[in-house]
């Protein structure tokens, strides 16, 4: 089973985990409190054998690190970034502003407006700064969306994705009384 790695500081040599390939997907979030919302993206990518990394990168408290991460992502071999944020939810858009990789935004449910504020913030991007926006808490669909883009050029991921879809079908069919 592939393990999702926790990202290390920009420019630092990351430790290699046994036979772990370098990550293809970065999963970033605005704060530690978003970890639970974003963990299903990790679990889905691991189930599809897509190596990933997870890191907290606050757009407001860690702007330099956030920009460095986004600017270096393609050069490190990432193929997409999934960014989760709540409240003002600037992280996905700011990441998208600094990379040409696909960025998928996951609005995190907030206490004040139950995530509607996050959803609108992520969805309302200006022309030229695209962010694919998922439903509030939609980390699984974010991972599946990214997997579909990777599967276009990776037969192994395409096969794993097809098996995932078949398994979902079979589980739904078996639940019918």
CA distances from 76 to 22, 65, 174 (A): 8, 15, 42
User: Do 73 and 101 form a contact (C-beta atoms < 8 A)?
Assistant: yes
Domain with 116 in it: 19-169
pLDDT at 112 (0 to 100): 84
CATH number of the domain bearing residue 153: 3.40.50.1970
Confirm whether 10 is domain-assigned: no
As a whole number of angstroms, the distance between CA 147 and CA 78 comes to: 12
What are the DSSP calls for the chain, one per residue?
A: ---PEEP--TTSPPPP-TTPPPPSEEEEESSGGGHHHHHHHHHHHHHTT--EEEEE--TTT-HHHHHHHHHHHTTTT--EEEEEE-TT--HHHHHHHT-SS-EEEEEPP-TTTTTHHHHHHHH-PPTT---EE--TT-HHHHHHHHHHHHHTT-HHHHHHHHHHHHHHHHHHHHT--
Residue 79 has pLDDT above 70, yes or no: yes
Q: Any bridge partners for residue 81, and if so which? A: 26, 103
What pTM was computed for the model?
Answer: 0.89
Confirm whether 152 is domain-assigned: yes
How many folded domains does the chain comprise? 1
pLDDT band at 2 (very low <50, low <70, confident <90, very high): very low
90-103 residue pLDDT tens: 999 999 999 999 99
21-48 residue pLDDT tens: 999 999 999 999 999 999 999 999 999 9
Confirm whether 117 is domain-assigned: yes
109-166 residue pLDDT tens: 988 899 999 999 999 999 999 999 999 999 999 999 999 999 999 999 999 999 999 9
């Amino acid at each position: 089973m592939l393990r999702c790695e926790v990202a290390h500081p920009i420019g630092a040599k990351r430790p290699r985990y046994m036979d772990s390939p370098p990550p293809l997907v970065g999963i970033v979030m605005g704060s530690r409190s978003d970890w639970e919302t974003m963990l299903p993206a990790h679990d889905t990518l691991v189930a599809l054998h897509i190596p990933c990394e997870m890191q907290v990168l606050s757009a407001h408290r860690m702007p330099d690190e956030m920009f460095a991460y986004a600017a270096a992502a393609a050069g490190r071999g990432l193929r997409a970034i999934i960014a989760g944020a709540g409240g003002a939810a600037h992280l996905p858009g700011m990441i998208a502003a600094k990379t040409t990789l696909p960025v998928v935004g996951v609005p995190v449910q907030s206490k004040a407006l139950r995530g509607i504020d996050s959803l609108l913030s992520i969805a309302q991007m200006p022309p030229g700064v695209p962010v694919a926006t998922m439903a509030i808490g939609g980390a699984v669909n974010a991972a599946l969306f990214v997997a579909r883009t990777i599967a276009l050029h990776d037969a192994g991921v395409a096969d794993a994705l097809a098996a995932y879809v078949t398994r979902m079908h079979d589980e739904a069919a078996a639940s019918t009384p």
